[in-house]
Structure 1
Amino acid sequence: MALKLRLKPCERVVINGCVVQNENRRYTLTVSNFAQIIRGSDIMQEEEADTPVRRAYFVIQSMLLDPRAAEEYGSVVAGMMAKLYTAFLHPDMQDRIMQAMRNVSDRDYYKALACLRPVMAYEDGLLHPARPARAPAGAPEAHAEG
């Protein structure tokens, strides 16, 4: 099944480690087979990786962006995810962490990142209950679950 990416003017997307930037108008790009893809707006900057879930997200993102990192960080991310699983007692968060790890094992890093976004929001709610939840730069805002 093909993936259609609708790109906004000047939007960037990374496909298999290659940065592609759209010109000054909307464009639809069709990807016909599996590829490691992430929109520029979903990319977390290293300085934003300041909590355990965000660090795991950043490592998985690095695996998506660079195939050499995927080989190098496989065991690192497995350890990080195991620690997260035991740290979060909320069953839904544990399920999301497990699903993220399954996606990493399947080398579907984008789906792993998507599984971790609600966990990041939940973590933000625990660490900063009075502050709105943060999402990766440019990503839609998420709110902590109770």
Structure 2
Amino acid sequence: MLRITLRDGEKAIINGAVIRAVGRTQFAVENQVSILRGREVMRPEEATTPARQLYFAAMLAYIDPDNRQSHQDTVVTLLGLLVSRFASDAARSACIAFAQDIAQGEYYKALSAARDLIAFESEADEAAQAA
């Protein structure tokens, strides 16, 4: 069982349905579902870099199983782009961890690895601007 607490006005996605809390809300999830809380949801206009686009595609693969293959195709393309872009071993290891999670169908776990990739991408962009 998973217990979720949402603040007043906070949104979540459960199996593709967007819900919004009216008042502080608690609920318990008693079966297997795809769930994202508001802070984990990326809007399309926020997918402005390859790593952010990768997160967005992985998020869609997680919450939109009917179109999962299309989203996974996008993930593969974007992951190839990022691997070639990253120079550090740590960033490439994060790419591998992400790919393993996706290959095993662990989409929620892959989102965590994608957040790491966004951080690596930001660091690489900052280093390039400083040079």
Supply the distance in 1 between the matched residues of 2:105 and 2:8 (Cα, whole angstroms).
Answer: 30
Deviation at 1:8, TM superposition (A): 1.3
Percentage of identical aligned residues: 27
- Equivalent position to 1:95, from 87, 93, 96: 93
Supply the distance in 1 between the matched residues of 2:31 and 2:82 (Cα, whole angstroms).
Answer: 32
Specify which structure has the higher proportion of helix: 2
Equivalent residue, structure 2, for 1:41: 39
TM-score (normalised: structure 1): 0.76
Mean Cα displacement is larger for which, 109-118 or 32-41?
32-41
Equivalent residue, structure 1, for 2:19: 20
CA contact 2:11–2:20 (8 Å) conserved in 1: yes
1:59-85 superposed Cα distances (whole Å, 9 cap, x missing partner): 111222322231222223123213322
Equivalent residue, structure 1, for 2:70: 72
Supply the distance in 2 between the matched residues of 1:33 and 1:97 (Cα, whole angstroms).
Answer: 30
Supply the distance in 1 between the matched residues of 2:87 and 2:55 (Cα, whole angstroms).
Answer: 19
Q: Which runs of 5+ in 2 are unaligned?
A: none
Equivalent residue, structure 1, for 2:81: 83
Deviation at 1:7, TM superposition (A): 1.3
Amino acid at match of 1:55: Q
SS of the residue aligned with 1:76? Answer: helix
Structure 1 stretches of 4+ with a deviation exceeding 6 A read none
Equivalent residue, structure 2, for 1:6: 5
CA contact 1:44–1:58 (8 Å) conserved in 2: yes
SS of the residue aligned with 2:19? Answer: strand
Deviation at 1:120, TM superposition (A): 0.6
SS of the residue aligned with 2:36? Answer: strand
Q: Which runs of 5+ in 1 are unaligned?
A: 132-146
Deviation at 1:17, TM superposition (A): 0.6
Number of matched residues?
128
